[in-house]
Amino acid sequence: TSFNPFPCHKVIIETFFSDHTAPIISLQNLTAPKRENNVKTQKKRMFSHKNVENFKSLLQKENWDPVFVNHPENNSSKKYKIFRYKTIKGQTRHDKGWFTTGLRVSASKKRELHILSKSSTDIEFKTYVASYKKIFKKCVKHAKIMYNSSKIKNSRNKSKMAWNIIKKETGAKIKHHSVSEINVDGRL
């Protein structure tokens, strides 16, 4: 995965007062690294047919005596890294057909109002922001209902589409089965 821990320095201090120790962590970077335009990078090894064949031929040509003598495992394995990492950039996209341009504008305004309300002391402004958030939440709920209803209404198999929507909303994976044979009373 694309886990990128913050650089930190960890120290455990022995207090000698009791059996407890004092762990100290100093963080150099307190802000998370930003992803541009929701682009997610991932490193994967490429196991192409060409690389596998090349790897097999290199294994046959290799003299194995120095491998078993060389104790630092990382040094000896560097010679055989034919399956290199490739950085793959991909945009995580979700089916948000319900998220219209109007909702996008309202969401950005809601974010701005939220930031302003954190530093404001005006009670009327804070109640306005709270009501704006409440209305926005209702609009999102209504947009999702309208979008899913139209998907069900326009589909040929309405119950299957409804269950696919339920599975998508709950996070369950949709299984795709292809029928290759039909067995009826022991006959194909």
pLDDT at 23: 67
SS3 108: helix
Question: Which helix (H) or strand (E) segment is 39 a member of?
Answer: strand 39-45
pLDDT at 14: 66
Per residue in 79-136, pLDDT (tens digit) is 556 666 777 776 556 668 888 899 999 999 999 999 999 888 899 999 999 999 999 9
pLDDT at 2: 44
Neighbours of 167 (CB within 10 A): 13
**What secondary structure letter does DSSP report for 187?**
B
The token duo for 48 is 């192409």
170 has pLDDT over 70:
yes
| Region of residue 16 (left: phi > 0; alpha: psi -120 to 50; beta: else) | left
